[in-house]
Amino acid sequence: MSRALEPIPLFPLATVLFPYAPLQLHVFEDRYRQLVGDCLEKGLPVGIVLIKSGSEVGASAEPYLVGTAARIEKVHRYEDGRMDVVVVGERRFRIRRLDESEPYLVGHCEPVVEVDEDSPRKDALTMRARESFQLYVEGMFAQQAVNVKINYPTDPLALSFLIANYLPLDPLERQRMLELTDTAERLAGLIPEIERQVVEAKTTAYYRLSRNHLQDWIHPN
């Protein structure tokens, strides 16, 4: 018996949201004010999807078909109807059918299933990614004379998404990482980028992380 598709209101953006990551939205268009209201009233997630063609404002945008379902954590409403909304990514979905009957896009979606089997290769990649990312973060804080201890997730899947979220990847590379369904392959793809950033941080004037960037999972000493 086939699995029923889940209707998810879609919020197309020029960025990619990973599971476990927060995102702040400034909502001002009527259609997205209604989307937020409907999601709150009906207990629905917001589907954050990268725009494939079109723009965030105005006419409908064509989204990539894999996105992240996010829960609404906080809403601040302004007197003129605008909203500041904080969402947190929870799970991925794949759009099987688009519905334009509402003022906003609705995707009829199936879950994206991750291959996350234990193996010596995955264990080795997890350790290497963790160690390399530690060097990366230490380098970002080096000029601030701050020692940083990272509370890494014990789950390699969560680790892979957290690292992907904080690396300066372009949107298409972030989308590729989102669409991968093998944790080991995602870690293997991230490690060269982490190590490249470590080298560049030692040799160039580089953007420095602040404590706020990693406030959910670091503890400066």
How is residue 25 written in tokens?
């939205």
6-13 vs 106-111, strand pairing mode: antiparallel
Which amino acid makes up residue 49?
V
pLDDT in tens, 98-151: 999 999 999 999 999 998 788 999 999 999 999 999 888 887 776 666 666 777
Specify the residue for token string 């406030």: 215
46-53 vs 6-13, strand pairing mode: parallel
Which CATH number fits the domain 6-111, given the four candidates 2.30.130.40, 3.40.430.10, 3.40.50.12780, 2.40.50.140? 2.30.130.40
Evaluate if residue 219 carries a pLDDT over 50.
no
Evaluate if residue 65 carries a pLDDT over 70.
yes
**What integer is the mean pLDDT of 81-87?**
95
Give pLDDT, residue 30.
Answer: 93
Strands (E), 44-196: 46-53, 62-63, 66-77, 83-99, 106-111, 148-150
CB 92 within 8 A of CB 111: yes
More confident site: 38 or 118: 38
| 102 Cβ contact partners less than 8 Å away, ≥ 6 residues apart | 9, 34
- In this structure, how many other beta carbons lie within 10 angstroms of the beta carbon of residue 11? 26
Lowest-confidence pick of 136-145, 147-156, 162-171, 207-216? 207-216
Say how far apart CA 16 and CA 57 lie, in whole Å.
Answer: 17
Give pLDDT, residue 140.
Answer: 75
More confident site: 201 or 92: 92
Give pLDDT, residue 58.
Answer: 61
Give pLDDT, residue 114.
Answer: 95
Q: Could you state, in order of their start, the residue ranges of all structural domains in the chain? A: 6-111, 120-220
Which amino acid makes up residue 220?
P
Residue 119: HSE in the Cβ half-sphere, 13 Å Cα cutoff: 10
Give pLDDT, residue 56.
Answer: 61
SS3 146: coil
Give pLDDT, residue 209.
Answer: 47
- Mean of per-residue pLDDT scores for the chain: 87
Q: Smallest Cα–Cα separation from 83: which of 39, 53, 20, 21?
A: 39
